[in-house]
Structure 1
Amino acid sequence: MSFGLPYKYVNDKEILNHIGKPAELTVVDVRDADFLGGNIKGAKNVPSNDFLDSVHELVKQNESVPRVVFHCALSQARGPKAARIYAESRQELLPDAKEQEIMVLRGGFTQFQAKYGTDKDLVENYRKELWEC
Structure 2
Amino acid sequence: MISIRRCAAWRLKWPEGTPKTLTRSCSLHSAADSLSFITRDELAMKVTDPAQRCGLDYLIVDVREPWDYSRLHIRSAVNIPSPLMLTMPADALLDRLAAAAVRASGQQLDLTALPGQLIFHCTVSLVRGPTAAVRLIEILRTTRSIKDKPEISVLDGGFKSWAKAYANDRKLVEGSDAPSG
What is the TM-score of this pair, normalised by structure 2?
0.62
Gaps of 5+ in 1: 129-133
Larger RCO, structures 1/2 (Cα 8 Å, 6+ apart): 1
Q: Which amino acid is 1:31 matched to?
A: R
Q: Which amino acid is 1:68 matched to?
A: L
Q: Which has the higher strand share?
A: 1
Instruction: Give the SS at the match of 2:135.
Output: helix
Give the 5 Å matches for 1:51-70. Answer: 51=85, 52-53=87-88, 56-60=91-95, 61=98, 63-70=113-120
2:71 aligns with: 37
CA deviation profile, 1:38-82 (whole Å, cap 9, x unmatched):
001111100012112165334241533101000000000000000
Gaps of 5+ in 2: 1-28, 48-52, 102-112
Contact 1:25/1:67 (<8 A) preserved = yes
Greater mean deviation of Cα atoms: 90-99 or 65-74: 90-99
Greater mean deviation of Cα atoms: 49-58 or 30-39: 49-58
Q: 1:58 to 1:104 in 2, by over 3 A?
A: same
- How far 1:16 sits from its partner (Å)? 1.9
Q: What is the CA–CA distance in structure 2 between the aligned matches of 1:126 and 1:88, rounded to whole Å?
A: 35
Q: What is the CA–CA distance in structure 2 between the aligned matches of 1:115 and 1:11, rounded to whole Å?
A: 11
Q: 1:96 to 1:42 in 2, by over 3 A?
A: closer
Greater mean deviation of Cα atoms: 56-65 or 41-50: 56-65
Q: Which has the higher helix share?
A: 2
Contact 2:69/2:175 (<8 A) preserved = no
Instruction: Give the SS at the match of 2:115.
Output: coil
Q: What is the CA–CA distance in structure 1 between the aligned matches of 2:60 and 2:161, rounded to whole Å?
A: 15
- How far 1:120 sits from its partner (Å)? 1.3
Instruction: Give the SS at the match of 1:15.
Output: helix
Contact 1:55/1:89 (<8 A) preserved = yes
